[in-house]
Amino acid sequence: MIKKLLFGGAVIGLLLYAWAPALAGPRPVKELIDVISSSGLDALKARLVSPEGEVVKVKDGVCYITNESGAILEKGSELTIIRAGEKITHPVTGVELGNITEPVGKVRVTYSDKKLIYAVPVAGSEKIKPGDKIGPPDKKPLVALVMDMPLKSWEPEAVALELGRKLGQWKGVDWVGQYAVERFLFDENMPEGADIINKKTFKNLRDRLKAGYLLLLEVAEKDGTALTNISLYKLSGGDGGAGGLEPVASHRGLAPVKAGKRAASAKEKPLSKPPVPTAQTIKSQSAKPAPPVAPAPVAGKTERGSGILGGYKSKILGEFSGNIAALLAYDLDKDGVKEIVIGFDHKVAVFKWSDEKLEQVWEKDLGVRNQILGLGAGDFNANGEVEIYVNNAAFSKIQSIIIERENGSFKVIREKTPMVFYTGSDGRLYGREQKTNYQLKDEIVELTWRES
């Protein structure tokens, strides 16, 4: 079903053709969220959140540090210790803005519980003293969430929305965008009910989405009882880079769900023998095929040879160290030579072929929480300049951007658009809107620019 959608030109006011679906299912979502939380999800938070705390005592070569975030730290993990220095105040208002901090040393964790972290200094032992604090981590854990929730009494999309909000509040944790996860499962040929426990899938999950952890969340219901299986795995390189899973923690719960009553917490199983999910229990969360992204350019036919691309020789135009998430070839400046547009995870860059090499002429970094999903181009507002449509997701939100040529360069003319764009072979621009529950609408709409 194709429906027309208008969005503005100069001011670019997007007029959304939409309806707001009810987020609540037949039963209140909160009662199920409470069960999931108390059945192990909250316990896993301590395995991922960044540690926060203050050195309270240094004695006999041991640093005693408060565990303010309740993080469960692995023995041998290292923490940077910092000290607050000079205060920074606003020169006009006098409002205190913060402190200049400096690293004073590093410590290696020997043991931790919910209240204290025990660690030994490995650098700067003579400088560390009470009052110093744990510094921010060098890198936040990036987690991919896979959900399987065949529910009847609750609306699965509403439950997924509330879970997304809850998980988004976990401090010090970055999440792979849920749309990117669904797209990944689709690209891996994972229809609903397919098995996903295999080395190839986990290697690709780590390599393509850069995920360091996998959180598997299964929720089923039977006779008013919620059955949960929540497991956290670390994605490792494995032998020869084949990829594998290192079980971190697993929780299985069985609790009656009744409005107004909170389910009892399930006990965590020992880490030494975590239950590894079987191929029959873990299924893909993607019930519908993901939409196609803008197609990558097909190499032009040159002289025949034994190379790739249908028997035609290929030519290396450039080599890049970053992960290429999307690729597009289009004559942006209409000089008869196609430019190359590349989406590197969270950065989009434009390259021009010059002097037998690719030369970068423009780039835009969208930030590390973003994931570019696809690219398209065309002069759809009929102003004589080509637009670049960048499909992008930030966590689970579609926040696509539109770029246009201006005075020989490029500028962003639209940001954070909840729309996945498709540049049709018929010369028209299409899109799918994202609903308030993070899912994409079923209908494809035709998009038309207008003056405003």
Q: How many Cβ atoms are within 10 Å of 253's Cβ, its own excluded? A: 22
> Is pLDDT larger for residue 35 or for residue 437?
35
Pairing relation of β-strands 387-394 and 62-66? unpaired
Phi, psi values for residue 345, rounded to 5°: 55, -90
> Cβ(231)–Cβ(197) under 8 Å?
no
- Mean pLDDT across 56-77: 89
- Least trusted range by pLDDT, from 15-24, 174-183, 213-222: 15-24
Specify whether the CB–CB gap between 361 and 354 falls below 8 A. Answer: no
Task: Report the relative pairing of strands 326-330 and 339-344 from DSSP bridges.
Answer: antiparallel
- Residue 224 carries which DSSP code? T
Give the C-alpha distances (Å, rounded to integers) separating 120 from 5, 63, 72, 81, 347: 62, 6, 17, 12, 40
**434: confidence class by pLDDT, cuts 50, 70, 90:** confident
Give the pLDDT of residue 166: 85
Q: How far apart are CA 105 and CA 340, in angstroms?
A: 46
Write down the pLDDT at residue 206. Answer: 76
Of 127-131, 152-156, 201-205, 388-392, minimum mean pLDDT range: 201-205
Of the ranges 101-105, 382-386, 433-437, which one carries the lowest mean pLDDT score?
Answer: 433-437
Query: Residue 427: how many CA atoms within 13 Å on its side-chain side?
Result: 1
Q: Residue 279 — very low, low, confident or very high, per pLDDT cuts 50/70/90?
A: very low
Q: Which tokens go with 272?
A: 């030494």
User: 283-292, 325-334, 354-363, 426-435: which range is least confident on average?
Assistant: 283-292
| pLDDT (0 to 100) of residue 223 | 75
Predicted confidence at residue 3, as pLDDT, reads 34
- Parallel, antiparallel, or unpaired: how do β-strands 419-423 and 55-59 relate? unpaired
Task: Please determine, for residue 377, whether its predicted confidence score (pLDDT) is greater than 80.
Answer: yes
Least confident of 277-286, 408-417, 433-442: 277-286
Classified as helix, coil or strand, 293 is coil
- Write the CA distances from 377 to 111, 328, 331, 366, 391, integer angstroms: 55, 8, 9, 18, 11
Is 344's pLDDT higher than 80? yes
* pLDDT of 339 strictly over 70: yes
What global pTM score does this model have? Answer: 0.49
Q: What's the start-to-end Cα distance of the chain, in Å?
A: 27
Which amino acid makes up residue 206?
R
Rounded percentage of the chain residues whose pLDDT exceeds 70 = 75
Nearest Cα neighbor of 291 from 92, 417, 442, 169 is 442
Q: In angstroms, rounded to a whole number, what is the distance separating the alpha carbons of residues 446 and 428? A: 7
pLDDT of residue 447 exceeding 80, the answer is: yes
185 contacts: CB under 8 Å, gap ≥ 6: 146, 196, 284, 285, 286
pLDDT in tens, 111-142: 988 889 999 998 888 889 899 998 888 778 88
Give the model's pLDDT for residue 26.
54
CA angle (231 as vertex; 117, 205 as ends), nearest 5? 100
Confidence of residue 240 (pLDDT cuts 50, 70, 90): very low
pLDDT at res. 366: 92
Q: Of the spans 169-173, 261-265, 349-353, which averages the highest pLDDT? A: 349-353
Predicted local distance difference test score (pLDDT) of residue 14: 29
Rounded Cα–Cα distance for residues 404 and 390 (Å)? 11
DSSP, residue by residue, 95-146? -EEEEEEEEEEEEEEEEE-SSEEEEEEEE-TTT--TT-EEPPPSS--EEEEE
Question: What pLDDT, on the 0 to 100 scale, is given for residue 404?
Answer: 94
Please say if the pLDDT value at position 262 is more than 50.
no
- The answer, yes or no, to whether residue 150 has pLDDT greater than 50, is yes
At residue 451 the predicted structure's pLDDT band, cuts being 50, 70 and 90, is low
Which of 243-247, 266-270, 366-370, 400-404 is modeled with the greatest confidence?
A: 400-404
CB 189 within 8 A of CB 195: no
CB 377 within 8 A of CB 389: yes
Encoded amino acid at 139, one letter:
K
- pLDDT value of position 194: 52
Q: What is the Cβ-side half-sphere exposure of residue 125, based on CA atoms within 13 angstroms?
A: 10
Tokens representing 392 are 């992008």
Tell me which of 191 and 412 has the higher pLDDT.
412
pLDDT at 195: 55
Nearest CA-CA partner of 144 in 190, 201, 187: 201
pLDDT band at 287 (very low <50, low <70, confident <90, very high): very low
Structure confidence by residue, pLDDT tens digits, 411-433: 999 999 989 998 877 788 998 88
Mean per-residue pLDDT over the chain, rounded? 75
Q: Is 369 exposed, middle or buried (0-12, 13-18, 19+ CB in 10 A)?
A: middle
Tell me which of 363 and 45 has the higher pLDDT: 363
